[in-house]
Amino acid sequence: MAELSWDTPYLHGIGKEEETLFDSVIHDPHATMTIYLGDSKIDYPPDKFLQACWTTGLETPCSICNGDFNIAIAPPVRLLSLAGDFQATDPLTRVLPPLTITNYHLKCLKSSCLRYFPVSHAWHQSIAKAYALRVSSPSAAQACYEVPIRTLLAVIQRFGSDVHLWHDYISIPQWQDEFRGTAILPQIFDIFKESGCAIMHVGLHPPVEMMETPTFETLIENESGLKHFFNAHWFSRMWPMIEFDRAGEAYIMSSKYEIMPCKFSSFVKGIMQIYGTNHPRRPRSALKWIEELPLFVRERQKNKCLGYVFEMISDRGCRSFRDKFIGASELLEVPGYPTLLPSISKDACLWISERRLECSDYSPLLLRPSIELKYGKARWLKGHTSMTTNMWGLGVQTQPARVAPRLQDHAIQLELELAGNIADMFSWEWRAEDKRAGFSEVLPYLIKLAGGSAAGFIESLECIYPSQFFWTESTDNSYQFPALQYQVPPPKMVHSTLENHLERYIDAVSRNDITELTLLCDAIISLLGLSTSPPISNSGPFADIRRLQLYSRLCDSSECTFIFVSCPSCDKRSAFRATTWQNPTTQAQLFFIPGLAYQYSVPNGMGIIVENEEILGRVRFGVPACNCNHSAAVKLS
């Protein structure tokens, strides 16, 4: 039975600017549409073309092995090329040459030396309507014929006459029921994967200067054009993003059918490298929009976990919420998802979360919940009715947990290390404009925890403002961040000076001397190097951000909570910065996940706050004050 969601109108066509240009170069809408199929030349009237393309009109045996196709299992890779007697011409020509259509098994195509480019693009509204309603229209037939031909002409003009094209307007029989639904998607994504490089028909023209001579000056001069380009509809959709991820690389094609000189990754790399370089004339706030580009644009990561993928797709548009889990399954290459993924979105979320937990991917348990009711089958599940961009924030996994979770009837059994019971907690208000990044609110608690000891103070500070932040495996060396160490004087000097500051601070608290407290807070910040820039040259977009502002950038408003934990063996107290989504009671306990580390956590520092078999929060900078080890079995329901 066909999935009903695939018949839902999905109107997300390209923007008004691109549609207008499309109309301006249109060929005669009443002209016949010519296709060469094998040895046959077929002239279709416009009102018959869509029916032929999207049903059985373009079927032939495989041109390599001469075998037939089972469309529900291994559909044809339908490639487009120019008919042999016709020469390539300008992509914007009004006289369109005829197409030659050839069909291949993907396995046959792999063994050949045939070069092809698949096209990733957002659909025109007329095409989306025709697909959903199964009714042709003149504009849909026209787009179906004209856009692939012009794209093919652009590809031939750029890469040579022996190149073929895969374009879903013609290459997919869209109206065949066997070709609708989840089961067919991996076949399409495999076509992108085998190509090695796609064409991104973005529909907007990026500033050419940024491709030819990427410098700080050209970045500033073309800032408006770049913003406009990255606001193109293509970047807002989930399926094009996945197609790009599967292909691994792409060339950008504009609405004028111009293919840009460099690949997309090189284009973005140039922007990010310029942005990550100090420049005396650059106001940092002017380029902050670069940090807000989609995650898949800014980073190309291989070791994705479910949390990272949810962050990638959370604000990408798609037809239905269940499509999010199809996309996540593809990005994570979850085996069997085309036939096993449940049709109800909540169950689909549970299914993929459990499959990832079985692979020792703990991220489903560490997601910050959005506004959604708990799922009755599994209270630990998150993202089943809503996804937000800030529900993850830990980057990719850099080190696996030592022991994988065990699942039974949707309950989870974990082997963890008990840090202790939650003895106390304290939260402060996060303010973006606070130059001390909450340090003035935190300082009294750090002093109390350290008991006036300078060494204890620095040790406690590490749990709140850790000196080490980044362990990335980015493919681009310029985005690897070395450890950040506190810039402190020799130990004796820092101890005596810091202890003096701490004694004066305690005295000022007793006198409620606000002025003195502010001065001492700033003095401690300066002494420990918290007010300086990170002492590294290749720190990317954080190059000239003060250390405390770096902490506030990476520890956002959800992490303005201290939890104080008492060790059950030695009673020593530890403090940890935490994210909590429910207020824990004194019955709550903190457990660490041995071995687990992410891009934005410390090794072995990931922990969960558990009460009544439910996770109430997480810790990512967990460095206990003692060396007591308490193995514990934890159940989540």
Weakest mean pLDDT among 85-99, 290-304, 543-557: 543-557
Residue 21 pLDDT exceeds 90: no
Query: Do 536 and 447 sit in the same domain of this protein?
Result: yes
**Residue 584 above 80 pLDDT?**
yes
Torsion sign, CA atoms 609, 614, 616, 617:
positive
Give residue 134's pLDDT.
Answer: 92
Q: Is the predicted pLDDT of residue 553 greater than 60, yes or no?
A: no
Tell me, yes or no, whether 405 lies in a domain.
no
Q: Is the model's pLDDT at 1 over the cut of 80?
A: no
Strand segments, DSSP code E, in 309-437 are 397-399, 406-408, 411-427
pLDDT at residue 86 in the model:
74
Identity (one letter) of the amino acid at 480?
Answer: Q
The encoded tokens of residue 517 equal 């407290």
Same domain, 265 and 205: yes
Asked if pLDDT for residue 359 goes beyond 90, the answer is yes
575 shares a domain with 481: no
**SS3 at position 531:** coil
> What residue spans of 528-634 are helical by DSSP H?
547-554
Q: What angle do CA 370, 319, 229 make, to 5 degrees?
A: 85
Residue 504 lies in a domain: yes
pLDDT on residue 14: 46
Q: Which of residues 528, 555, 582 is at a domain's end?
A: 555
Q: What is the pLDDT of residue 353?
A: 98
Strands lying side by side in the sheet with 99-104: 40-44, 33-37, 99-104, 77-82, 164-166, 116-121, 198-201, 250-253, 259-263
Q: Is residue 630 part of a domain?
A: yes
Lowest mean pLDDT among 59-68, 201-210, 318-327, 612-621: 201-210
Q: Where are the alpha helices (DSSP H) in 83-172?
A: 106-111, 125-133, 138-159, 168-171
What mean pLDDT comes out for the span 430-458?
A: 76
Question: Tokens at residue 220, please?
Answer: 């500033």
Q: Are residues 218 and 237 in the same domain?
A: yes
Alpha carbon 117 to its chain's center: 24
What percent of the residues of the chain are helix, what percent strand, and what percent coil, each to the nearest 5? 40, 15, 45
Q: Tell me if 426 is assigned to some domain.
A: no
Q: Which of 248, 271, 298 is the last residue of a domain?
A: 298
Does residue 547 sit in the same domain as residue 622? no
Angle value at C-alpha 278, between 275 and 283, nearest 5 degrees: 75
How big is the chain by its Cα radius of gyration, in Å?
29
Residues 543 and 478 in one domain: yes
| CB atoms inside a 10 Å sphere around CB 213 | 10
Q: How far is it, in rounded angstroms, from Cα 340 to Cα 349?
A: 12
Residues 154-169, mean pLDDT to the nearest whole number: 94
352 lies in a domain?
A: yes
Model confidence pLDDT, tens digit, residues 94-107: 888 899 999 999 99
| Cβ–Cβ < 8 Å for 119, 143 | no
**72 and 153 belong to one structural domain:** yes
User: What are the φ and ψ backbone dihedral angles of 609, each rounded to 5 degrees?
Assistant: -95, 120
Q: Which residue has the higher pLDDT, 211 or 420?
A: 420
Structural domain of 328: 302-395
Whether the predicted pLDDT of 17 surpasses 50: no
pLDDT at position 10 is 33
The residue among 239, 227, 238, 250 whose CA lies nearest residue 311 is 238
Top mean pLDDT of 71-75, 176-180, 354-358, 472-476 is at 354-358
565 and 480 together in one domain? no
Residues 294 and 307 in one domain: no
Do 460 and 538 belong to one domain?
A: yes
**pLDDT at 440 (0 to 100):** 80
In the structure, what pLDDT confidence band is assigned to residue 491 with cuts at 50, 70 and 90?
Answer: low
557: which residues sit within 8 A by CB, 6+ positions away? 430
What pLDDT shows up at residue 586? 86
Please state the rounded mean pLDDT for residues 442-448.
Answer: 83
Examine the domain organization and report whether 310 and 289 are in the same domain: no
Tokens 């012009």 locate to 150
Reported as a single tens digit per residue, the pLDDT across 499-520 is 888 889 888 888 889 899 889 8
Tell whether 100 is covered by a domain: yes
Domain annotation covers residue 584? yes
Mean pLDDT value across residues 543-559: 61
pLDDT of res. 403: 95
- pLDDT of 527: 78
Chain centroid offset of residue 7 CA: 28
Cβ distance 171 to 78 under 8 Å?
yes
Among 132-141, 361-370, 525-534, which stretch is predicted with the lowest mean pLDDT? 525-534
* pLDDT of the residue at 536: 45
The Cα–Cα gap between 567 and 624 comes to 9
pLDDT of residue 11: 35
pLDDT of residue 5: 41
The closest alpha carbon to 138, from 214, 30, 24, 231, belongs to 30
Name the pairing type of β-strands 411-427 and 406-408: antiparallel
The DSSP bridge partners found for residue 34 are 43
> Pairing relation of β-strands 561-566 and 198-201?
unpaired
∠ CA(342), CA(346), CA(351), 5° rounding?
50
Residues 624-634 have pLDDT tens digits of 767 888 899 99
Cβ count near 278 (within 10 Å): 12
pLDDT in tens, 107-128: 999 989 899 999 999 888 899 8
Tell me, what's the pLDDT at 432?
A: 61
How many Cα atoms occupy the beta-carbon half-sphere of 468 within 13 Å? 16
Q: Is 74 among the domain residues?
A: yes
Residue type present at position 310:
F
Q: Is the pLDDT of residue 149 over 90?
A: yes
For every residue of 183-232, which 3-state class applies, written as one string? HHHHHHHHHHHHHCCEEEECCCCCCHHHHHCCCHHHHHHCHHHHHHHHCC
Of 533, 555, 577, the last residue of a domain is: 555
- How much of the chain, in percent, has pLDDT values that exceed 70? 82
Domain count, the chain: 5
Taking Cα atoms as reference points, which of 222, 299, 318, 209 lies closest to residue 262?
209
Cα–Cα nearest to 54, from 146, 151, 180: 180
Bridge partners, residue 415, by sequence: 633
Q: Average model confidence (pLDDT) for the chain? A: 83
Higher pLDDT, residue 436 or 289: 289
302-316, 462-476, 537-551, 569-583, range with greatest mean pLDDT:
302-316
**Same domain assignment for residues 133 and 233:** no
Helix (H) or strand (E) holding 517: helix 514-527
Q: In angstroms, what CA-CA distances link 210 with 17, 77, 218, 418? A: 22, 35, 6, 52
Q: Taking 60 as the threshold, does the pLDDT of residue 478 lie above it?
A: no
